[in-house]
Every structure is written in C-alpha cells, then in structure tokens.
C-alpha cells in the first residue's frame, strides 16, 4: 500500500531546517498570524474580526477548547486562534465556476493544503452518479437526494452520521435527535480518534468522563504535570495560564519525547516584558520514550506508597475502592523495567518524586500523547491512581485535566453525540419527544470505516470535519468511502473528503462561528462548552460568506422534515426559527442545563456540575473512585525499527494546513519530514537531509508506505520518531487501536526507514 504525494500541485514541499527553538509566542507569533490574517481577509476585516474573538458578546474562538479567562483582554491574543479565524473569515471563495473548471479527478490530485486554500464554499453542490464534476443544486433537491438514499436503506443502521467538534450545542443536539428519530445510534465523532481514551478511563474510575479542574484550580496548584501535550502550538492560551500558575508558586513537570518550545519558555505577547524575555515554564523535563507513561506513573505510585505519610489515607478510606489490589500491583513495579520503558534515568524519576511529595495540590494535564496508544486507557487510569493516592481529586488546585481539542468537542458529547449513549439519556429523549430511540449501540469511527468497507453501511453524512483525511489507514478508508451509495458533507471549506466520494455526493455549505446567523425570530446565538465544562454563548458578526449558506441547525431541521415527514414528533420548524426553543428542550433533557436560556445570557456563561469536583461524589459502578491495577505495558520495538508518533505542526489545524512551516521546531517550507534522534540515525545510517520512505509494520503483514520524507536529526527520545499527520495516516493500520476506547494508535506506529528510490 503506497500513498503517493499529490501530483500536479503547485505547492512545493522542500523542507528547510534550522533546529528547534527554545521559546514560544512573543513578537514572531504576532507578526506571523497578522500576516496570515491579512493575506486571507485584508486589513480592515482582520482588525474587526480579531477584536471579537472570545470577547463578551463576540464569538467563541473556533481554535481550541481551552477556557477563556475571567478577565478577557481587549484582544486576548493567540497566534493559532488568529489563524483559525483567518482561515474561516477568508475573502477567497469556491464558487460553482470553480467546480465547473475542476473535475473531481483533478481535485483528487491536489494536496489538502491546496484544497483548503481555495476559500469558502458558497453553494450546495451535487456530484451525480457517473458525473465527473460537481454541479450546483438547490437546497430542496439536495435534501430530496439524501432522503431518497436514506429511504432506500434496508435498515437505519446502514447510515452513518459523523460529527466533528466545531458543531454548536444546538446543532449537535438536533443532529443526534434526528439520527435517533430516524432510527440509529451510528454517531461516530472526532472524539473517537481524540479523547475517547480519556473518557473511557475517567468514566470508569471517577464516574464522569470529563476533566475535574477549572481554570482557577491551575492558579492554586503546587504542581502541574503536562504529559503528552504541546500547548505552545495547540492550546497557546494555556501558556498564559501556566505562566500565572507559576507566578503563584506552582512547579511544572513536562513529560514528552520532544522538547516542545512552548513548554520551555513562554513569551507572553500580552505583556511588554513577556514579549522580550519571557518566562521559563518547565522545572523538570522528563524526556520519555513514546508509550512509557504508564510505567512512569506506576513507579511513582510505588514510590509514594513506600513513603511514610505520603498517602492520603483518609481520602482513600472514605472515597475509593480497589486500593489493596492496586497497591499490590504498584509495589511490584520494577526500577529496571521502568527505566527501559521510559528511557529516563533514576535521578530524573527521583527528582520528579521529590516534587510530587512536596506538592499538596497536583494537577495532571494531558492530550494526544497519552490517548493515542494501544494501552492509553490503562495509562490514563494510572494517572488517576496517581492523583487518588494523595487525595488530588475534588479539592481546589488539584485534579484531572484532559485538554480537549476541537472548540466544542466536549459539548457535542454532552448533547448526545455518542454511539454508546447512556440509557438515562435515551429515557430523557423518549420522555421529552415521545418517540422510542434505538437502544442498540452504534458504530464508532473505526467500526464505521469497517462497515463501509464491508458494504454494511451505505450512506455517510458528516456534520463538519474531514473524515477521510483524519481517519487512519488512508488507503483502506478511501476505498471504503468509495463503496458508499451517498456521501454528504456539511462544510465551510473544501477538503479531501469532498473528492473521495460515494456513487453520489453532496457538499452542503454552512455558516462558520464568525458569521451572523439570521433566522425567523431574528439574530441567533449558539452555545459551546469548553474543556473545563463552562458553557457560554457565541455570536457571529460577519456577513456570511455567501447568501446561499444555511446554518447547521437549519440544515438539520430541513433535512429532518424532509426525511421524517409528518410522522416526526419533533417541532423542527419551530427549532429552526428560534434556537432558544432548542435550548428549552436541552434544559429538560440534559442534566446541568436547567434554566439554560437565562443562565447562558449572563456574561461568561455557567459551569456544568461535576460531582467528583464539586462534592467528592463518584457516580461509578461502585459509588466510589476506583483504583485500578492493570498490568504495565509499553510498546515493543523490534531491532532496527523506530516508534513513530504522528503529530501536528505549528501551521495546521488537524487536516487544515495553514502553511508549510513549523516555526518552533525550526522547519520551514515543507511537511514531509521525519524527526529522528541523531544517535538512532547514526545506527540506522540515515543522514540528515537524506530522503526515506516510512514503512509501517503491523501484525496483519501488510506493508504500509509513505514515500519521500526528509530526515531531520532532532533531539527526540531514543528509539522514537515523529512526522506530521495527516500525511502519515496511511501508516496507521485500521486495526491498531487502543484497548477499550478503540482510538487509533496514531502515536505508536512501528516503522522502518528505507532509503527513497531516487529518479
């Protein structure tokens, strides 16, 4: 299986390398994002738009899910937030003329970067069976086409309804309602590829699958561990929070195979001093081997257990379950095995222990570096063990902090976008709307791809996202998608999922966050939930990119009316006219949203209840916080192979590529690079600047190959390598997923490097 780099693309991938930087943000960040914004939007629009990001009465930043502070700066400046906004508010347009000039086969040869750079979609477009290009279609006809294909299915479970995490609460609630009234729980979402492992581990151990800290807890913490996360690029506003935490006396341990510039030193662009000198953030850097985190936390737990008076015995007695079994497993942890698994030294681990014992309030933050491995769920459970041991859950300044990705991915789950809904949620839907929702579990992302591949699913509908590029095993996924009868994408911008289609395909263009949403009852607001369970309103101000766009809620309402007809028990028309009516129903179905409309009207919104955080109550099967005792695992890497993680550059938002630079890592003008430790490179005889194919080896015996990557000697942990996603998704086998959560193991791919064939 070989993935060819797109041909005929005017964008040249020619990486230039200057070595990693040691500080993030500062003036270059301001300059860089303003330049990108001006290029996309012009000067006036840049000023107008960037002033409205995350302001009271403004729109929620479509960048990441990090919460807003209590005090919003006139322009709380975030480089990558600015880039996300510019990408959406661009003045470039993809019109019917564009589609007339570009057959789908031609677009399929373009890179994702090129596709995204063409601008905003303006008209609903239809690719008829056998046609070579998309043509404009009316909204009515588009809904008829979806209805035709849905009606023709042998069972509602042959349809898949994917969601990406930018969708508002209102749209998400309607979308899952439609899917369930239609008759299926097939609601795969980007969470399946993202924080599913966190949700699985936290629900089982603490009873709530979300983080247990608020922003103010970070400011009260003594110790913050940041494991498997690159906030300088992916959650830049988190650096301001870490800076403030440090000013209040917190210490920071970062656990990462890469020295990430943002965690080393942060130059806060909000303050004159910060712009120039910056603040050192990390006190202790543990350069761990990929996948070594469970072993690290297990050993730390053993060492805590062996320290007189270190365990919070009262907490353990009153609030936890499973302690004895866990303690027995932890006591058996072995130094040598841990050093091998982590690549750390004894001195480093002892230093970490000292900091752990000195802290009365500890928070652990993590993201994809912990969630995308085979053993991610037991790894995160071990983090929970670590916090429970010293009573660090449910008290100020302490807790679990999975840092979410997409700006409303957490809210979408709260609204019921989940293929395995809780029975209580379905009961509430049934009671409120008077139809019987399906009870059987639906398909997640990986199972949805398998269903398409095997012909068990025939209609694929996506509320946002870029499914074929974001999913693993690109060749398998693309072939599966091509077997569908119909693929439909509700999108703001052109992407690869629009050109790898089923027999028929639709592109339904929609409003972005930044845009005014006018409906029958007047201007609408939508709501979102951030990574810390704060719910607030978002109001777009810009003129929509085209007069033909419909909002996401309007699309769902019209589709539902067309598909479900008179038989529907849901007042779709009323919902489309006035989103407050949707919120009234959410208030009656979803716990924590009582009096929703009134509470979200308050500036700053409101916090959702979180039993472990608020009352040290743990709604688990045992009624207590559960210690767990899984065997320690870490990836085995055969001789001559490396463990590859697939990660984000500084100039991308998931599959949306903003540019070809990764400034903090010192890489410019190219994305086909592989970062390799110089010692490993010497052993493998790959020179810096040489070109290799990445070949992944997996138990199914299939060789997956991504050709033509420039080798960059880089200070990553020994035995590890790193390259960007989505170019490397071809290497991630569909079957290589995390136990329990089924999340693709895209951070631990065993690869060998082969000298590229030169022509």
Ligand X SMILES: Nc1nc2c(c(=O)[nH]1)N[C@H]1C(S)=C(S)[C@@H](COP(=O)(O)OP(=O)(O)OC[C@H]3O[C@@H](n4cnc5c(=O)[nH]c(N)nc54)[C@H](O)[C@@H]3O)O[C@H]1N2
Interacting residues with ligand X (CB under 6 A): 63-64, 80, 164-166, 190, 193-194, 227-230, 233-235, 255-258, 260, 288, 290-291, 293, 367-369, 372, 405-406, 463-467, 470, 490-493, 495, 510, 512-513, 552, 645-648, 652-656, 725, 728-729, 732, 746-747
CB neighbour class for 592 (10 Å; exposed up to 12, middle 13-18, buried from 19): middle
Report the candidate in 80, 96, 83, 87 with the shortest Cα–Cα distance to residue 119: 87
Helix (H, G, I), strand (E, B) or coil at 508: strand
Distance of alpha carbon 357 from alpha carbon 247, whole angstroms: 20
The answer to whether residues 179 and 161 touch, using CB atoms and an 8 Å cutoff, is: yes
Name 705's bridge partners: 2, 695
Pair type for strands 720-724 and 673-676: antiparallel
Query: Least CB distance from residue 409 to Mo ion, whole Å?
Result: 6
Query: Least CB distance from residue 618 to ligand X, whole Å?
Result: 26
Whose Cβ is closer to ligand X: residue 197's or residue 620's?
197
Structure tokens at 742: 């089924």
Whose Cβ is closer to Mo ion: residue 196's or residue 217's?
196
Whose Cβ is closer to ligand X: residue 256's or residue 362's?
256
Distance of alpha carbon 505 from alpha carbon 499, whole angstroms: 9
Whose Cβ is closer to ligand X: residue 628's or residue 645's?
645
Query: Least CB distance from residue 319 to ligand X, whole Å?
Result: 28
Query: Least CB distance from residue 315 to ligand X, whole Å?
Result: 26
Site string for Mo ion, 173-212 (x = CB under 5 A): ---------------------x------------------
17 touches, from Mo ion, ligand X, none (C-beta below 5 to 8 Å by class): none
166 touches, from ligand X, Mo ion, none (C-beta below 5 to 8 Å by class): ligand X
Whose Cβ is closer to ligand X: residue 231's or residue 670's?
231
Query: Least CB distance from residue 450 to ligand X, whole Å?
Result: 17
Distance of alpha carbon 516 from alpha carbon 539, whole angstroms: 7
The answer to whether residues 189 and 166 touch, using CB atoms and an 8 Å cutoff, is: no
Whose Cβ is closer to Mo ion: residue 66's or residue 618's?
66
Query: Least CB distance from residue 88 to Mo ion, whole Å?
Result: 18
Segment holding 676, helix H or strand E:
strand 673-676
Distance of alpha carbon 737 from alpha carbon 728, whole angstroms: 16
290 touches, from Mo ion, ligand X, none (C-beta below 5 to 8 Å by class): ligand X
Structure tokens at 476: 């398998």
Structure tokens at 273: 């001093």
DSSP state of 64: B
86 touches, from Mo ion, ligand X, none (C-beta below 5 to 8 Å by class): none
246 touches, from ligand X, Mo ion, none (C-beta below 5 to 8 Å by class): none
Interface stretch with Mo ion, choices 259-267, 399-407, 631-639, 661-669 (CB under 5 A): 399-407
Whose Cβ is closer to ligand X: residue 296's or residue 587's?
296
- As a whole number of Å, the end-to-end CA separation of the chain is 20
Name 161's bridge partners: 461
Judged by CB under 5 A, the residue of 405, 437, 612, 744 near Mo ion is 405
Structure tokens at 384: 């929970």
Query: Least CB distance from residue 236 to ligand X, whole Å?
Result: 7
Structure tokens at 38: 């001006």
Give the phi and the psi of residue 364 in degrees, each rounded to 5: -115, 125
Distance of alpha carbon 252 from alpha carbon 223, whole angstroms: 6
The answer to whether residues 126 and 141 touch, using CB atoms and an 8 Å cutoff, is: yes
Whose Cβ is closer to ligand X: residue 256's or residue 414's?
256
Query: Least CB distance from residue 472 to Mo ion, whole Å?
Result: 14
512 touches, from ligand X, Mo ion, none (C-beta below 5 to 8 Å by class): ligand X
Binding site for Mo ion (CB under 5 A): 194, 405
């Amino acid at each position: 299986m070989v993935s060819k780099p797109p041909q005929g693309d005017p964008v040249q991938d020619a990486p230039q390398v200057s070595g990693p930087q040691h500080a993030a943000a500062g003036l270059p960040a301001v300059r860089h994002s303003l330049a990108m914004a001006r290029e996309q939007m012009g000067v006036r629009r840049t000023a107008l738009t960037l002033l409205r990001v995350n302001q009271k009465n403004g729109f929620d930043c479509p960048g990441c899910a990090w919460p807003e502070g209590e005090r919003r700066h006139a322009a709380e400046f975030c480089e990558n937030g600015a880039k996300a906004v510019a990408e959406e508010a661009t003045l470039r347009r993809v019109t019917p003329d564009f589609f007339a000039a570009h057959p789908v086969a031609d677009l399929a040869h373009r890179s994702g970067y090129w596709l995204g750079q063409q601008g905003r979609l303006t008209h609903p477009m239809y690719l008829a069976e056998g046609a070579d290009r998309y043509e404009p279609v009316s909204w009515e006809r588009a809904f008829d086409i979806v209805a035709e294909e849905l009606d023709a299915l042998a069972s509602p479970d042959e349809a898949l309804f994917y969601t990406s995490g930018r969708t508002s609460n209102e749209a998400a609630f309607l979308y899952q309602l439609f899917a369930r009234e239609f008759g299926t729980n097939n609601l795969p979402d980007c969470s399946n590829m993202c924080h599913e492992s966190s949700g699985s581990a936290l629900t089982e151990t603490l009873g709530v699958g979300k983080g247990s800290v608020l922003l103010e807890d970070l400011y009260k913490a003594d110790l913050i561990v940041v494991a498997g996360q690159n906030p300088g690029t992916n959650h830049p506003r988190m650096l301001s929070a870490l800076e403030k935490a440090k000013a209040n006396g917190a210490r920071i341990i970062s656990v990462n195979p890469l020295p990430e510039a943002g965690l080393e030193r942060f130059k806060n662009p909000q303050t004159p001093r910060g712009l120039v000198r910056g603040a050192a953030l990390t006190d202790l850097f543990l350069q761990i081997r990929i996948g070594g985190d469970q072993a690290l936390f297990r050993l730390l737990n053993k060492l805590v257990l062996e320290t007189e008076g270190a365990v919070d015995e009262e907490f353990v007695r009153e609030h936890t379950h499973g302690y004895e079994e866990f303690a027995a497993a932890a006591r058996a942890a072995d130094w040598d095995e841990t050093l091998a698994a982590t690549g750390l030294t004894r001195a480093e681990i002892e230093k970490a222990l000292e900091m752990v014992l000195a802290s009365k309030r500890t928070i652990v933050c993590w993201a994809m570096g912990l969630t995308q491995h085979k053993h991610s769920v037991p790894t995160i459970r071990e983090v929970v063990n670590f916090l429970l041991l010293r009573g660090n859950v449910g008290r100020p300044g302490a807790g679990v902090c999975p840092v979410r990705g997409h700006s409303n991915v957490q809210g979408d789950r709260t609204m019921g976008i989940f293929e395995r809904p809780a029975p209580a949620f379905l009961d509430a839907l049934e009671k409120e709307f008077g139809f019987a929702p399906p009870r059987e579990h639906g398909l997640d992302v990986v199972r949805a791809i398998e269903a398409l591949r095997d012909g068990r699913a025939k209609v694929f509908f996506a509320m946002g996202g870029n499914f074929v590029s974001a999913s693993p095993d690109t060749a398998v996924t693309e072939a599966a998608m091509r077997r569908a009868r119909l693929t439909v994408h509700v999108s703001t911008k052109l992407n690869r999922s629009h050109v790898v289609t089923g027999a028929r395909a639709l592109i339904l263009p929609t409003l972005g966050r930044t845009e005014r949403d006018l409906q029958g009852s007047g201007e609408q607001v939508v709501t979102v939930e951030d990574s810390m369970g704060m719910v607030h309103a978002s109001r777009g101000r810009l003129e929509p990119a085209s007069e033909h766009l419909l909002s996401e809620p309007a699309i769902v309402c019209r589709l539902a009316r067309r598909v479900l007809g008179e038989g529907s028990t849901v007042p779709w028309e009323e919902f489309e006219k006035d989103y407050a009516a949707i919120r009234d129903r959410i208030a009656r179905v979803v716990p924590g949203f009582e009096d929703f409309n009134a509470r979200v009207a308050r500036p700053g919104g409101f916090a959702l209840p979180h039993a472990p955080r608020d009352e040290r109550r743990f709604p688990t099967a045992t009624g207590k916080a559960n210690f767990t005792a899984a065997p320690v695992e870490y990836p085995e890497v055969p001789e001559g192979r490396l463990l590859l993680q697939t990660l984000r550059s500084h100039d991308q938002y998931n599959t949306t590529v903003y540019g070809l630079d990764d400034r903090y890592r010192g890489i410019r003008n190219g994305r086909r690079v592989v970062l390799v430790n110089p010692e490993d490179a010497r052993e493998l005889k790959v020179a810096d600047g040489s070109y290799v194919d990445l070949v992944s080896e997996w138990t199914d015996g299939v060789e997956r190959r991504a050709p033509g990557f420039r080798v960059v000697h880089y200070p990553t942990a020994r035995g590890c390598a790193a390259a960007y996603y989505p170019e490397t998704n071809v290497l991630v086998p569909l079957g290589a997923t995390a136990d329990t959560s089924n999340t693709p193991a895209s951070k631990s791919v065993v690869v060998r490097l082969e000298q590229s064939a030169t022509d």
